[in-house]
Amino acid sequence: MAMSVSILAVVTSLHLIAFVFAVGAERRRSTAKVVPDEYDEQTYCVYGTDASTVYGLSAFGLLLLSQAVLNGFTRCLCFGKGLVTGRSSTTCAIVFFIVSWISFLGAEACLLAGSAKNAYHTKYRGIFGGNELSCATLRKGVFAAGAALTLLSLIGSILYYWAHSRADTGGWQKHHNEGLGMTTQPHPHPHPPSEYEKA
């Protein structure tokens, strides 16, 4: 199976757009500040924009779509005609397949957890006796880790697709060799030689 430029372009584009969204989510993390209520002795948290949640979920969806396209086209290394055994390209395909999936799952976990945590807002609380109100916010670096793992997933996916395209020729070669073997077999003589042919 030769590499498809269109599949490679789709996978690369989706990964890169997901990376941009993940970086944007890190830069637009929600911030909060404690504001006293003007009517009583209570305080509450005022949060900034929730754009980071939207960016994070967008990156999550794009990365999921890219992984689905790649593994749907390569049959997830588990189905199809099979790879040629005993070749280095087959080993590389398996290794990069594992790297691609581990980095993909790590990136998705960071993006989903970061989006959920960023969307959580501390509810209205009162403070009495000097207790300070803590406003829940997402810690720095969660979306950045998701962005880094997205790039790693992109590299692993491209290398996996390249190695898979080199190794996924076993079905055609086997069928081709079987066809050659059938054509090279000697054909039996249709009838015994006549007396004239013996002479």
- What pLDDT digit, counting tens, does each position of 16-30 carry? 999 999 999 999 888
Residue 182 lies in a domain: no
Is pLDDT at 174 greater than 50 in this prediction?
A: no
For residue 194, is it within any domain? no
| pLDDT > 50? residue 171 | no
User: Would you say residue 85 lies in a domain?
Assistant: yes
Q: What is the C-alpha R_g of the chain?
A: 30
Question: Considering the domain boundaries, does residue 187 fall inside one?
Answer: no
Q: Which helix (H) or strand (E) holds 26?
A: helix 5-27
- Residue 86, Cβ neighbours under 10 Å: how many? 6
Res 169: pLDDT: 58
Of the chain, the end-to-end C-alpha distance in Å amounts to 56
Is 185 part of a structural domain of the chain? no
Instruction: Please give the pLDDT value at position 188.
Output: 54
pLDDT above 50: residue 128: no
Q: State the pLDDT at residue 66.
A: 95
Number of domains in the chain: 1
Residue 34 phi/psi, 5-degree rounding, is -85, 130
Q: What is the pLDDT of residue 107?
A: 97
Phi, psi of 43 (to 5 degrees): -130, 165
Q: How far is CA 44 from CA 30, 125, 165, in A?
A: 16, 6, 57
In whole angstroms, what is the distance from residue 153 CA to residue 5 CA? 18
pLDDT digits (tens, 9 = 90+) for 75-108: 766 654 555 555 677 888 889 999 999 999 999 9
pLDDT surpasses 50 at 162 = yes
Query: For residue 81, what pLDDT is reported?
Result: 53
pLDDT above 90 covers a percentage of the chain that reads 40
pLDDT at 18: 97
Digit-coded pLDDT (tens) for 189-198: 555 555 555 5
- The HSE-up count of residue 177 (CA atoms within 13 Å, CB side) is 6
Instruction: Reduce the DSSP state of residue 45 to 3 states and report it.
Output: strand
Using one digit for the tens of pLDDT, what is the confidence trace for 50-61? 889 999 999 999
Mean pLDDT of the chain: 78
pLDDT band at 173 (very low <50, low <70, confident <90, very high): very low
State the virtual CA torsion across 62, 64, 66, 71 in degrees, nearest 10.
-170
What is the span of the domain harbouring residue 109? Answer: 5-171
Do the beta carbons of residue 111 and residue 29 sit within 8 Å?
Answer: no
Q: Let me know: does 69 contact 10? Beta carbons within 8 Å.
A: yes
In a domain, 135, yes or no: yes
Closest CA to 151 of 109, 110, 100, 114: 100
